Amino acid sequence: MSATHDTAALFTRFSTQTLPRERQLLAWRERVGHVVDVIPDKDVIARGFSGNIDLHAAGGLVFTEARTDALTLERSIARVSTDTRRDFAFHVYLEGETGNMSGVGARRSAAGSVRGIVALDLNQRFRIERPRCRVLTLFVPRAMLAAHVDDCDALHGRVVSHEAPLARIVFDHFDAVARELPSLERPDAIDTLDAAAQLLIATFAARPHALPVARIALQSAVKAQVKRYVETNLHEGDLTPTKVVDALGLKRATIYRWFEQEGGLGAYIRHRRLREAADELARFPNLQIADIAFGLGFKSASDFTRAFRRAFDASPQEMRLRALELLRATHGGHIMRMHVAGLEAARESG
């Protein structure tokens, strides 16, 4: 799936699950055949092949999430010479391994099949015997990569193990991208895919911290990782800045500096708890304010009330009453609109 340069966002989904067993591998071959050849195997055709793929395209970048049984993929020199695919495909193996690659000019000392990230130049040949896996792929235009990486052709076939310093951030970020993309509007999808591309550039660059774009990408990805951890653990009473940086294995001084605009990581956690409390006050009008406070890690109802008033210029009870008034007004307006529409329909039919 080469990157598309259309202005509109695109989403497609394909699965072999509903097809006859003998058609499954061949159907998969047809589905991905515009980019890579799937080598047919009589045994696989006979027993069936499980494969599904979601594709998102926006802003010149293409992101896919695929789950497949074992298979063999190939871009031969004849194929490279007769099509126009020149992007780079970065494969992030969240489950399974990279498989055994040939035709990529790898050194004899290079690792074999590992869990990691692979860069493949679609302008060069390769063959991959790949085991069952879940792989996230980002197709990045060659020009975008060449603008930041010297001799990007040399990246072809390079593997970054999941144990590498930046790989953990990439894995976490890409897993989040796969979950979030389906619900994003086009501008946000473009920003998300662009951030993922910049993070890959940082991962494969010789000196990532020397690239301004790479530093920004790393900061963005790590801040997103921290925020996801905070959201997941928002109701844990022992959620503190120290616990966050220790759990994620991050440098405390760096994270604190990156959250300066939010008043620090501690202030960010407190703000998110108060914002969640405001939502719960409106959603659960019968839930005691003290229960909401304790459920979000506040030591007492009075501490919660003081913090809430400082943040929103209203007490929790005042905010709840105002939210209920707005809900009643909205609900009443909806009922009134339905009543007027009914009267108008009756007049037209009468």
Burial class (CB in 10 A: 0-12, 13-18, 19+), 7: exposed
Res. 49: pLDDT tops 80: yes
103: nearest Cα among 124, 73, 134: 124
Residues 292-310 have a mean pLDDT of: 91
Please, what's the largest Cα pairwise distance for the chain? 86
Cross-strand bridge partners of residue 37: 74
92: nearest Cα among 65, 124, 74: 65
Residues 305-313 have a mean pLDDT of: 91
Confidence of residue 343 (pLDDT cuts 50, 70, 90): very low
Q: What percent of the chain has pLDDT over 90?
A: 41
Res. 338: pLDDT tops 60: no
Which domains are present in the chain?
Answer: 10-232 (2.60.120.10), 266-349 (1.10.10.60)
Q: What are phi and psi of 217, to 5 degrees?
A: -65, -45
Q: What's residue 38's pLDDT?
A: 96
d(CA 289, CA 277): 9
Q: Are residues 297 and 235 in contact, defined by beta-carbon separation less than 8 angstroms? A: yes
Question: Which DSSP state fits 236?
Answer: -
115: nearest Cα among 81, 92, 141, 85: 92
d(CA 123, CA 102): 15
Q: What radius of gyration do the chain's Cα atoms show?
A: 26
Q: What's residue 340's pLDDT?
A: 44
Confidence of residue 51 (pLDDT cuts 50, 70, 90): very high
Q: Which residues contact 133 (CB under 8 A, 6 or more apart)?
A: 67, 68, 93, 95, 96, 97, 99
> Are β-strands 71-75 and 37-38 bridged in parallel, bridged antiparallel, or unpaired?
antiparallel
Tokens of 39: 């080598």
304: nearest Cα among 288, 318, 316: 316
Q: What's residue 29's pLDDT?
A: 96
Q: What's residue 4's pLDDT?
A: 40
226: nearest Cα among 205, 209, 242, 237: 242
Residues 27-41 have a mean pLDDT of: 95
Tell me the pLDDT tens digit for each residue of 57-112: 988 899 999 999 999 999 999 999 999 999 999 999 999 999 999 877 644 334 56
